[in-house]
Amino acid sequence: MTLAGELSHYAYSLKYNDIPKNIVYESKKRIIDALGCGIGAFSAEPVKFSRKIAERAKVNYGSTLLGTEKASTPDMAAFVNGIMVRYFAIPTYPKSPRIPATTSAPASLLPTRKVRMEKTSCYQSL
Rounded Cα gap, residues 115 and 20, in angstroms: 25
Report the percent of the chain where pLDDT is more than 90.
Answer: 26
Q: Please check whether residue 5 lies inside any domain of the structure.
A: no
Q: Please check whether residue 51 lies inside any domain of the structure.
A: yes
Q: Please check whether residue 4 lies inside any domain of the structure.
A: no
Q: Residue range 106-123: average pLDDT?
A: 53
Q: Please check whether residue 2 lies inside any domain of the structure.
A: no
Number of domains in the chain: 1
* Triad 49, 78, 63: Cα angle to 5°: 100
Rounded Cα gap, residues 58 and 60, in angstroms: 7
What confidence tens digit (pLDDT) does each residue in 60-89 have?
A: 888 889 899 898 998 899 899 989 888 876
Q: Please check whether residue 8 lies inside any domain of the structure.
A: no
Q: Please check whether residue 7 lies inside any domain of the structure.
A: no
Q: Please check whether residue 109 lies inside any domain of the structure.
A: yes
Structural domain containing residue 109: 20-125
Q: How high is the mean pLDDT of the chain?
A: 78
